[in-house]
Amino acid sequence: MPTLNKAEIEKILQTTMNNPDLYLSAFTHRSYLNENRSFHLPHNERLEFLGDAVLELAATEYLYRNYPHPEGELTNFRSALVNYKMLSEIARRLGFEKFLLMSKGEAKDTGRARQVILANCIEAVIGAMYMDSGYQACTNFIGREILVELPKIIEGETYLDPKSRLQELVQEKSGITPTYGVVSESGPDHNKTFVVAAFVGNDEVGRGEGPSKQEAEIAAAENALNNNKF
């Protein structure tokens, strides 16, 4: 039966685990139960639901108290802080990946799907911590490991998504609004990959792919920003 290294988790989270099963559940992906039906704990989605709310409240309260910006900017700051890419980077930095319980198939995937699993896991861990030790323990962890990323986000203006940044830059230069078009799509309906090109007028300035048109558009805008061809 899988167990967590209690001392190692406590060191990472800097909190005492009163109920280790909560944390073991937080590291358990739904797919693991498909291959281990006798496992005694539920997967982490309910804890993720709880942790997402705790994280959002803690981030919102911190932003409100420390940043006198308009609501729209605060919303952008928060979105950049708690999106799946940022959370997955933090989860990797903390070493959460080695604790994940997943199916053999999921364990082989190292792309976007793994990022989402890691992001969900860190939210589930926050949910477990809330149930185990209360809100203050969560805010201590969130402040130390997640909110610490805010200055970098604000200084680098990464709170503006690539499409918004590209639009601002292109409109400053030429007064034109970039457009996007699907170049190709492949794969079954439940697992499609879209390739999208970004255009300024008739000129293609970037190209990207993703599991949805929206994410492919964001990748194309990011590619255009990196290429600086506009």
Indicate which residues carry an active-site annotation: 52, 123
SS (H, E, C) the chain: CCCCCHHHHHHHHCCCCCCHHHHHHHCECHHHHHHCCCCCCCCCHHHHHHHHHHHHHHHHHHHHHHCCCCHHHHHHHHHHHHCHHHHHHHHHHHCHHHHCECCHHHHHCCCHHHHHHHHHHHHHHHHHHHHHHCHHHHHHHHHHHCHHHHHHHHHCCCCCCHHHHHHHHHHHHHCCCCEEEEEEEECCHHHCEEEEEEEECCEEEEEEEECCHHHHHHHHHHHHHHHCCC
Calculate the alpha carbon distances from 78 to 23, 48, 110, 164 in Å: 25, 18, 26, 16
* CB of 32 closer than 8 Å to CB of 40: no
Cα Rg for the chain, rounded, in angstroms?
20
